[in-house]
Amino acid sequence: MLNFLDFLGTVGGNVLSLPGIVGLALGMMTRRWPVAALLGVGIGVLETLIFNAFSLSAINPYDLAIALAVGILAALLGCAIRHKGATV
């Protein structure tokens, strides 16, 4: 069972780690929302695999779900920054 402090730590760690930072950067590379979301999913899955030593049996579903959600949201935020800030 995941308690609240573990949940907050997992979310905070993902925001400050690969899904948050790289997801934002990948989202800023495109203006298409679906492409940004797919890039966010990709970085969320990749981060979970890297931190679990590429062992599928060691992946916790909660960690994967949080990494996917953070990756998608960060990539969509990057895409929104690109839409709002781009003048060309």
Q: Write the DSSP string, 35-77.
A: HHHHHHHHHHHHHHHHHTTT-GGG--HHHHHHHHHHHHHHHHH
Q: Looking at residue 44, what is its pLDDT?
A: 92
Residue 15 is assigned to a structural domain of this protein: no
Residue 8 is assigned to a structural domain of this protein: no
Residue 17: DSSP 8-state: S
Number of domains in the chain: 1
Q: Looking at residue 35, what is its pLDDT?
A: 96
Residue 30: DSSP 8-state: -
Residue 37 is assigned to a structural domain of this protein: yes
Residue 52 is assigned to a structural domain of this protein: yes
Note down the domain range covering 50.
31-82
Residue 87 is assigned to a structural domain of this protein: no
Residue 58 is assigned to a structural domain of this protein: yes
- Segment 7-36, tens digit of pLDDT: 898 889 888 888 899 999 999 999 899 999
Task: Work out the average pLDDT over 71-77.
Answer: 95
Average pLDDT taken over every residue of the chain: 90
* Confidence check: pLDDT of 88 > 70: no
Give the confidence band of 2 by pLDDT, cuts at 50, 70, 90. low
